[in-house]
Amino acid sequence: MTITFSGDYQRDADRVAVSFETFVNGTRVVCKIAEATLEDWFENGDSLEVFRKHQKTIEGLTERIIEKRHSIPQNPLFITYDDIEAASHW
């Protein structure tokens, strides 16, 4: 499975999540991580700044989550606190 991240990310219009883009075997998948998950797992603060600061870690954990599913995820892929917790132990 080939997973690449475009580096594009943005705060959702409803301001409750940060969206970021990945390609899984060439298929575009939009991933979303809730601001609450960023705060609970990483730190409090502006969600875009927290995402930027921890982007490589978030992308690495997202890659593990996708690989564990053994398939291209449906759009959008919501990354939850539980997903991150599990992926951090794989």
pLDDT per residue as tens digits for the range 29-67: 999 999 999 999 999 999 999 999 999 999 999 999 999
Predicted structure pTM score: 0.91
pLDDT tier, 90 (very low <50, low <70, confident <90, very high otherwise): confident
Please report which residue ranges of the chain form alpha helices under DSSP H: 35-37, 47-53, 55-69, 81-87
pLDDT tier, 72 (very low <50, low <70, confident <90, very high otherwise): confident
Name the domain count of the chain: 1
Q: What is the CATH number of the domain that holds 30?
A: 3.30.160.140
pLDDT given at position 70: 86
Domain that holds residue 23: 3-87
Count of beta carbons in the 10 Å neighbourhood of residue 6:
10
pLDDT given at position 48: 94
